[in-house]
Amino acid sequence: MARKPELDDFRVPYFDTKKIEKFALADFDPSAKPFSTGSKEGDRDRLSQIGAKLDALQECLHAQQLQRVLLVLQGMDTSGKDGTVRAVFHEVDPLGLRIVPFKAPTANELAHDFLWRVHAQAPSAGELTIFNRSHYEDVLVPVVLGQLDNDAREQRYRQIRGFEALLAETGTTIIKCMLHISKDEQRGRLQARIDDPTRHWKFDVSDLEARKQWDQYQAAYHDALMATSTPYAPWYVIPANSKTHRNVMVAELLLRTFEGLKLEYPPAKESLKGVKVE
Amino acid sequence: MARKPELDDFRVPYFDTKKIEKFALADFDPSAKPFSTGSKEGDRDRLSQIGAKLDALQECLHAQQLQRVLLVLQGMDTSGKDGTVRAVFHEVDPLGLRIVPFKAPTANELAHDFLWRVHAQAPSAGELTIFNRSHYEDVLVPVVLGQLDNDAREQRYRQIRGFEALLAETGTTIIKCMLHISKDEQRGRLQARIDDPTRHWKFDVSDLEARKQWDQYQAAYHDALMATSTPYAPWYVIPANSKTHRNVMVAELLLRTFEGLKLEYPPAKESLKGVKVE
């Protein structure tokens, strides 16, 4: 009988392990649903259960004002980054969340190093921050467009590892999810956007250019994941052709992460004991 | 038969009207429930209905990337600013919201004018931003503590009107809500926090000091509301002893505001017409 899949089966091997582990992004089936309950309704129920737990844990994170959590979401166009945020965090108090969408850098941002604008958005004590796209765009787009040579790319990977180590060592728990869809699935999702004029605002003709370089992007993802999955900032590959599976799996990962923080409410204040409000 | 209450009955008269209108904060009953459905369950249903509408309207605001909306929440300790955010925006996509809690200013913030840190957090195109406390703290706390003389206070009122006019004239729709609770209601809420040690983290002994100056704070609120309610940034008094009424009333106000924006999705892109994704 096949072993039940575990979240760590989808973790990208750590960059700094002595023994080189086998990893190929292409080995992961985007249509797989290893953490699905078996039905969309079941998945939604599970998501709702996890959401309630995350809400309680996040409140405790906020009360403690000590630890920080950073979730990085990456994936090809239409892979469901926005949809994941919407679904997974539906139950979580908006007060405790900060969502940071990274778009094409501004002139001022480009006048700094590529991690400058990212560092400024790092979570503060008690905060759960979600990066919708991230500094990883800077080792994907310019690589595919041939604007970064191998040395410059390796240098950025090293800079990213250093940056993420800094965040981790100073109290931030980081998890990174690559929402993995197939080229066929993307075709359907792009076509649906084109066929519905009310959704054209989500679409730019240049999105089709990136699709033409699908294989190059997959290769760039493969390299970046391999070079930057670390014990302090692991990457997970999320099979994402099924939206409800994608949501449940990201939620399960986040739940495990929060449970691992051993969160506790701050102790009662002695100074408040027996106080009567007048 | 009494006239049905309207939202504008709770609007603070505009500062710049020629005719001085009568206004007294104390005339508003914090226990009133003018926009309640009559039951807590009914209020929750109504809130859920409005939430779904706000979610759709907010998506359109985001798609349009043109207008901006700013909701300012003020009120005494325990008046329910956090609870309002949680309840009213439960149905709204977290991607479209930005919540900015203003705490005691840092040394660097104090080294600038009092609107500097506030301006930096103003909503951007397509964004709905909620200020949880705001620049109004700077015409409440220092006034009660006697750190601002009359001239300095009037100067700040004028500066606030100028600042809000700038935001409004450049595309931001502003509404400001004062969550109005009674001193008795606050006693119960503070005592509940003291009696539950797991909620001590929300509480500081200094909160009791502000309570001792309840009347001075009410007077400071009265003056500030009178001096800064304008056609481009009106203040509303929200009777807030009932939490479900408070939530429904803020939601109704926001819904009316969004409906007034005449939001429309951007037109379909000609360049996408008939495009087939390969």
In the block, tokens 């007294």 appear at B24
pTM of the model: 0.89
* pLDDT tens string B144-173: 999 999 999 999 999 999 999 999 999 999
Contacts of B89 in chain A (CB under 8 A): 94
Q: What is the largest CA-CA distance in chain A?
A: 70
- What pLDDT does A95 receive? 85
Residue A143 lies in a domain: no
- Residues B204-232, mean pLDDT to the nearest whole number: 93
Other C-beta atoms closer than 10 Å to the C-beta of B277 total 16
Residue B210 has pLDDT above 80, yes or no: yes
d(CA A34, CA A6): 8
Closest B-chain CA to A186: B277
Residues B159/B153, Cβ–Cβ less than 8 Å: no
Q: Select from B67, B16, B74 the least CA-distant residue to B231.
A: B16
- What pLDDT does B203 receive? 84
- What pLDDT does A79 receive? 97
Q: In sequence order, which ranges of chain A are alpha helices (DSSP H)?
A: 40-64, 81-88, 107-110, 116-119, 141-144, 150-169, 183-195, 206-212, 214-228, 243-260
d(CA B34, CA A173): 46
Q: What are the structure tokens assigned to A70, written together?
A: 């950073």
Q: How far is C-alpha A264 from the chain's CA centre?
A: 25
Residue A146 has pLDDT above 90, yes or no: yes
Residue A108 lies in a domain: no
d(CA B84, CA B73): 9
Q: Which of A184-188, A191-195, B104-108 has the highest mean pLDDT?
A: A184-188
d(CA A135, CA A74): 10
Residues A220/A153, Cβ–Cβ less than 8 Å: no
Spatial CB neighbours of A125, under 8 Å, sequence gap ≥ 6: A65, A66, A67, A68, A171
CB contact under 8 A, B132 and A265: no
d(CA A219, CA A236): 16
Give the DSSP letter of residue A79. Answer: S
Spatial CB neighbours of A133, under 8 Å, sequence gap ≥ 6: A73, A74, A81, A101, A102, A103
Residues B233/B164, Cβ–Cβ less than 8 Å: yes
Q: What are the structure tokens assigned to B273, written together?
A: 């017409």
**Interface mutation vs chain B, best among A187, A272, A273, most B CBs within 10 Å:** A272
Residue A20 lies in a domain: no
Range of the domain at B81: 29-102+121-134+171-204+231-262
Residue type, B214: W
Position B18 confidence tier, pLDDT thresholds 50, 70, 90: low
Position B4 confidence tier, pLDDT thresholds 50, 70, 90: confident
Q: What are the structure tokens assigned to A89, written together?
A: 């965090």
Residue B59 lies in a domain: yes
What ipTM describes this predicted complex? 0.81
Q: For B99, which of A95, A201, A276 is closest by C-beta distance?
A: A95
- Chain A residues within 8 angstroms (CB to CB) of chain B: 63-65, 82, 85-86, 89-90, 92-95, 97, 99, 101, 132, 187, 190-191, 194, 197-198, 200-203, 205, 208, 211, 265-269, 271-272, 275-278
Paired sense of beta strands B68-75 and B172-180, if any: parallel
Residues A153/A221, Cβ–Cβ less than 8 Å: no
Q: Select from A151, A108, A86 the least CA-distant residue to B92.
A: A86
Which three-class secondary structure string do you get for chain B?
CCCCCCHHHHECCCCCCCCCCCCCHHHCCCCCCCCCCCCHHHHHHHHHHHHHHHHHHHHHHHHHCCCEEEEEEEECCCCCHHHHHHHHCCCCCHHHEEEEECCCCCHHHHCCCCCHHHHCCCCCCCCEEEEECCHHHHHCHHHHCCCCCHHHHHHHHHHHHHHHHHHHHCCEEEEEEEEECCHHHHHHHHHHHHHCHHHHHHCCCHHHHHHHCHHHHHHHHHHHHHHHCECCECEEEEECCCHHHHHHHHHHHHHHHHHHCCCCCCCCCHHHCCCCCC
Question: Between the CA of residue B127 and those of A225, B16, B61, B98, what are the distances in Å?
Answer: 32, 28, 7, 7
* pLDDT tens string A75-110: 999 999 999 999 999 888 888 899 999 999 999 999
Residue B89 lies in a domain: yes
| Least confident stretch, A158-167, B20-29, B221-230 | B20-29
Q: Is the dihedral of CA A133, A139, A140, A141 positive or negative?
A: positive
Spatial CB neighbours of A271, under 8 Å, sequence gap ≥ 6: B205
- Residues A255-262, mean pLDDT to the nearest whole number: 96
Residue type, B1: M
CB contact under 8 A, B272 and A205: yes
Position A18 confidence tier, pLDDT thresholds 50, 70, 90: low
Residue A161 has pLDDT above 90, yes or no: yes
Question: Between the CA of residue A124 and those of A86, A98, A172, B82, B101, what are the distances in Å?
Answer: 22, 10, 9, 19, 13
- What pLDDT does A17 receive? 66
Any bridge partners for residue B99, and if so which?
Answer: B130
* CATH number for B252: 3.40.50.300
Position B90 confidence tier, pLDDT thresholds 50, 70, 90: confident
Count of structural domains, chain B: 1
**First-to-final CA distance of chain B:** 67
Q: Is A10 left (phi over 0), alpha (psi -120 to 50) or beta?
A: alpha
Burial class (CB in 10 A: 0-12, 13-18, 19+), A17: exposed
Question: Between the CA of residue A225 and those of A27, A155, A157, A177, what are the distances in Å?
Answer: 14, 15, 10, 10
Residue A116 lies in a domain: no
CB contact under 8 A, A194 and B266: no
The whole-angstrom distance between B231's CA and the closest CA on chain A is: 29
For A236, the 3-state DSSP assignment is strand
Residue A19 has pLDDT above 70, yes or no: no
Residue B4 lies in a domain: no
Q: For B89, which of A94, A187, A266 is closest by C-beta distance?
A: A94
Q: What are the structure tokens assigned to A187, written together?
A: 């075709």
Spatial CB neighbours of B81, under 8 Å, sequence gap ≥ 6: B73, B74, B75, B132, B133, B179
Burial class (CB in 10 A: 0-12, 13-18, 19+), A22: exposed
- What pLDDT does A182 receive? 98
Spatial CB neighbours of B211, under 8 Å, sequence gap ≥ 6: A277, A278, B77, B183, B186, B190
The whole-angstrom distance between A158's CA and the closest CA on chain B is: 31
Give the DSSP letter of residue A224. Answer: H
- What pLDDT does A16 receive? 75
Residue B159 lies in a domain: no
Position B17 confidence tier, pLDDT thresholds 50, 70, 90: low
Q: For A187, which of B93, B95, B277 is closest by C-beta distance?
A: B277
Q: How far is C-alpha A50 from the chain's CA centre?
A: 17
Closest A-chain CA to B88: A94
- Residues B83-105, mean pLDDT to the nearest whole number: 91
The whole-angstrom distance between B17's CA and the closest CA on chain A is: 37
Any bridge partners for residue B235, and if so which?
Answer: B176
- What pLDDT does A1 receive? 53
